[in-house]
Amino acid sequence: MVTMRDVAKRVGVSVATVSRVLNDSGYVKEDTRKTVLAAIEEMNFKPNSVARSLFKKQSKTIGLIVPDINNPFFPQLARAVEDVTSEADFTVFLCNSDGKIEKEIRYFDRLQQKYVDGVLVVSNTLKPEHLSQYHFPIIALDRPLDSSLPYVTCNNYEGAQKATRHLLECGCGKIAHISGPENIANARDRLQGYKDVVSEVGLYDENLIIPAEYQIESAKRAAFKLLTNYPDIDGIFAGNDVMAIGVIKAAELLGYKVPEQLKVVGFDGIEFGDIITPELTTVSQPVYQMGSTAAAMLLDLIEGKPIHQKEITFQVELLVKRSTQT
Ligand code: RIB
């Protein structure tokens, strides 16, 4: 393997000069710089990225911390982040936190040890005091954090209103909501959007709201309970798409026909929504755009460029499919 020492020997300069050329730091005569670069190319020298990051305290890497990559929302987000950052020659470390603060902090520590240049994090628990010790730019993605961190999210409250109004327009008279985890702000916003719309038309009933996890099985159990206790429910707004899939599964087990007897709406717009039967009506977030926008912002911060908008909230769109057909 060709080393920096070999390149220096070939050109007749010191190792320090080669290092200065590689790291674009310190003074090197223009002729020497060109000769060193030509030798690097000719000898096919690949600088050791670990050594470079130790020297420059920079690594051309970023961290992406998500709760659970098994949820199809997050691969779509991760794909966007990777597309944008790899264009800029960055590599992404993917970390699954399971939504646990201890894991999030452990990953932040590890990422700092690896000299990452920045981190995108999807979290609902981190506070400013947890993050003040990290000296790289951080952006909150999907879930704004209780701090001055820049963030990219979507309008969860309005999305939930759109979903609930749509169920009303479809003629549903008993609309339930299986809400996402109470400790996640976007789940609370979606719940509030639902509550405000059913209250406006005098259909609010707290018994028709059950919290569950952002997971199929947990939502399936919640839907089973709801539909067993209130068999005349004719519309369910689920906290997200995987939960809506759980609702459709529970309805199927209980012998309901979706959409004839029960209409279901999800939230997110994951691709799986089009694969299941019936295809899922959903409030679609511009997931790819959210991921790519956050990644571009992070790259700007890494390069020390100012960002003009620190808080970005994307609009959402109701996509009507078979699960609410009239
Ligand atoms: O499906 C994962 C959920 O968690 C999504 O609804 C997204 O908004 C995230 O917060």
Residue 82 CB less than 6 A away from ligand 1: no
> Which atom of ligand 1 is found nearest the CA of 156?
8
Answer whether CATH 3.40.50.2300 is correct for domain 156-285+318-324: yes
Residue nearest to atom 1 of ligand 1 (CA): 73
CATH topology of domain 61-154+287-314: Rossmann fold (3.40.50)
Residue 182 scores a pLDDT above 70: yes
Q: What is the pLDDT of residue 55?
A: 61
Cβ–Cβ < 8 Å for 280, 241: yes
Q: What is the pLDDT of residue 52?
A: 63
Structure pTM? 0.86
Q: What pLDDT, in 10s, does the model give residues 250-279?
A: 999 999 999 999 999 999 999 999 999 999
Classify burial at 320, counting beta carbons within 10 Å of its beta carbon; exposed 0-12, middle 13-18, buried 19 or more: middle
Q: What pLDDT, in 10s, does the model give residues 199-211?
A: 999 999 999 999 9
Classify burial at 322, counting beta carbons within 10 Å of its beta carbon; exposed 0-12, middle 13-18, buried 19 or more: middle
Average pLDDT, the chain: 94
Phi (first) and psi of residue 237, to 5 degrees: -100, 115
Residue 49 scores a pLDDT above 70: no
Same CATH topology for 61-154+287-314 and 156-285+318-324?
yes
CATH for the stretch 4-47:
1.10.260.40
Residue 323 scores a pLDDT above 90: yes
In the reported structure, the alpha carbon of residue 54 is separated from the centroid of ligand 1 by a whole-number distance in angstroms of 36
d(CA 41, CA 7): 10
Residue 240 CB less than 6 A away from ligand 1: yes
pLDDT tier at 50, thresholds 50, 70, 90: low
Q: What is the pLDDT of residue 45?
A: 85
d(CA 184, CA 144): 10
Residue 186 CB less than 6 A away from ligand 1: yes
pLDDT tier at 56, thresholds 50, 70, 90: low
Secondary structure letter of residue 279 according to DSSP: P
Residue 156 CB less than 6 A away from ligand 1: no
- Around Cβ 7, how many Cβ atoms within 10 Å? 24
Cβ–Cβ < 8 Å for 121, 78: no
> Which atom of ligand 1 is found nearest the CA of 242?
1
Residue 51 scores a pLDDT above 70: no
Residue 151 CB less than 6 A away from ligand 1: no
Residue 194 scores a pLDDT above 90: yes
Return the percentage of the chain with pLDDT > 90, whole number.
79
Residue with the bigger pLDDT between 128 and 236: it is: 236
In the reported structure, the alpha carbon of residue 268 is separated from the centroid of ligand 1 by a whole-number distance in angstroms of 7
Domain chopping of the chain, boundaries: 4-47, 61-154+287-314, 156-285+318-324
Residue 110 scores a pLDDT above 90: yes
- Among 156, 267, 287, the mutation site with the greatest number of ligand 1 atoms within 8 A of its Cβ is 267
| Helix/strand/coil for 113 | helix
Average confidence (pLDDT) over 71-97: 97
Q: What pLDDT, in 10s, does the model give residues 16-35?
A: 888 888 877 788 899 998 89
The tokens for 282 are 């959903």
Cβ–Cβ < 8 Å for 125, 101: yes
d(CA 52, CA 60): 10
Residue 316 scores a pLDDT above 80: yes
